[in-house]
Amino acid sequence: MGGDLEYSKIVLRDPFDWTGLEWMQNEQLTFVCHPLARSRPHYIHPCGFPLSEIMVRLPTFSAREYFYDQEGNGTAQQASMFMRPHSDPIVSYYYPKATGQYHYGERHPMKPHRLTLTNTLVIGYGLHKKMDHFFSPRPATQEELEEYHDPDYIDFLRRVRVGSALVKEGQDCYNFGEDCPVFEGLYEFCRQYAGGSLVAARKLAQGTTDIAINWSGGLHHAKKAEASGFCYVNDIVLAILELLRYHPRVLYIDIDIHHGDGVEHAFYHTNRVMTVSFHKYNGDFFPGTGKLDDNGTGLGKYFSLNVPLQDGIDDESYVALFKNVMGPTIQSFQPSSIVLQCGADSLGCDRLGAFNLSINAHGECVRFIKDHNIPLLVLGGGGYTIRNVSRCWTYETSLLLNTEVPEPLPDTPFNHFFAPDHALHPKIVKKVDNLNDSKSLENIRVSILEKLRYLQGAPSVQMQELPPDLAAWMESEERNSELEKERDRDTIMEDVPSSSRPFTLETPRDPHKAKNDYFDDSADQDKEEPSTPAGSSTTGKTNNKGKATRGRGRGRPRGGAGVKRGSTARRGAKTPAKEREKEGSVSGQLSAKEGSESESEEE
């Protein structure tokens, strides 16, 4: 093919659109025949080019005699004709195994089985093949749950069993009851859905995924030390705390029909997390919070935004208000990541809901947030008509994957749940009155925009690198601090007489020093004693010159006043005074005996 030629491929988006490729006829190009040219001659351009794909051998500059101006042919062309558009976002899907097998109770509206239906539809449509990662994450540990929740509360969740005496304690102390019953496997259920949200948040924080989905999470009512609204562990707060380790600002958006009071309460005093909740509010609807004037306090003033709505809001009103509120909010707060809670009880015909939204409108809110191209954590939440919940979350999964799915549902073992229509978008919009007039919705929009003006731009956050194991690092720092205090105390007490010290100075023995090796001059116990007057008792045998020899025992201490740091007396040793008295008597007897022996020799 020659060293002066380079091969290039041009892929046509439209086989019948040759706009912008006329310049190829003016160049000295060699075209390689496409394989389809032999079998499908109608795929060939009149000039002889295959329409779907063109292999071109372009002459390099070195193959030309001189560099020349290509005039109009050298101008920049539309890039989309020669390269693919920007790569699709990396999507990770988290499905904790067996979460759909738990059961709150026979008449309880919360049905974890909706998660099984959702994942069955996702796999039935083949959406799992479009995902970059399809995980079954590990359960959260007790230590991870205690990053936000009270340790006593987590310990109670771990120990409580159906029919045990602890059930009464849960009713008295932790708000257990009809809404939050004790059921079999409660603690494992909490660990599993919280573990999915934590792993998803870590993937986002590490930059290994762009969109993370965990439909089992989103339980936004749980408080620090109590259960609430079918929620026991607030996985959203745990995930946001994980994101805050790496991201300066996190935006939380809640489109559940119930106010996200647990998440708002957790971050009510900070400006690093902005919470925005679209919910029903009339003072009596659970949980009874989320007024338009609830804006945060202290440093978090105006960082908690609430959009209270009335019954029967329709698609057009809801989507328009959502975009008019969230667009300026994202622009003002400039979040590093977004957590989106997609509670499906805001759909029409929900067992506990009162809105009149379709699956298309609910999904349009998800698509709007996704199009901002900010790291996104998508969670589940409420939703109590499970056949509609699973359809909604399946459709939103396809939106997050930029994949279109057909209207007929795939064949699954749960076909009877979706009878009689077996469609992805059933008619769930009812003919109910919309109590949200245009004036009230405009007042809400204006009020939210006025609060955003007080932000005065996105808050700055000073970030610093943290070690991987923060808890172990903090414990090590505490131990080092205590050791420093002990060293300072010992240094001060060295100058205090031993009789006045309230304690004995003891330090760990140097492992590199032999037990009988006192080479430190300051602590040497083998120095010669000064000479003593005649007639007095000595601590060792005397020679003819009257000088004292080395004492007995190389490691024996020489009295309380002479105790040095690191040279404490051995266990069971006598006191210095009694020891000196005994040594003196023994040395006196030895001196008398030596004197009598010398006299007998002279005789």
Residues annotated as catalytic (active site), given as ranges:
221
Strand segments (E) across 110-266: 133-135, 211-214, 250-254
30 phi and psi, to 5 degrees? Answer: -115, 120
Phi, psi at 133, each rounded to 5°: -140, 140
Radius of gyration, CA atoms only, the chain: 40
d(CA 93, CA 592): 97
d(C-alpha 377, C-alpha 242), whole Å: 12
Q: How far apart are CA 176 and CA 551, in angstroms?
A: 77
For residues 309 and 279, what is the distance between their CA atoms, to the nearest angstrom? Answer: 6
Task: Please state, in angstroms and rounded to a whole number, the distance separating the CA atoms of residues 456 and 289.
Answer: 27
Pairing verdict, β 30-32 and 53-59: antiparallel
Burial of 271 per CB tally in 10 Å (0-12, 13-18, 19+): buried
> Cβ contacts of residue 486 below 8 Å, gap of 6+?
none
**Residue 287: which of 342, 335, 348, 223 has the closest Cα?**
223
Token code pair at residue 276: 């925005």
CA 497 distance to own-chain centroid: 56
53, 40 contact by CB (below 8 A): no
Cβ pair 233, 145 in contact under 8 A: yes
- Cα–Cα distance measured from residue 78 to residue 76, given in angstroms and rounded to the nearest whole number: 7
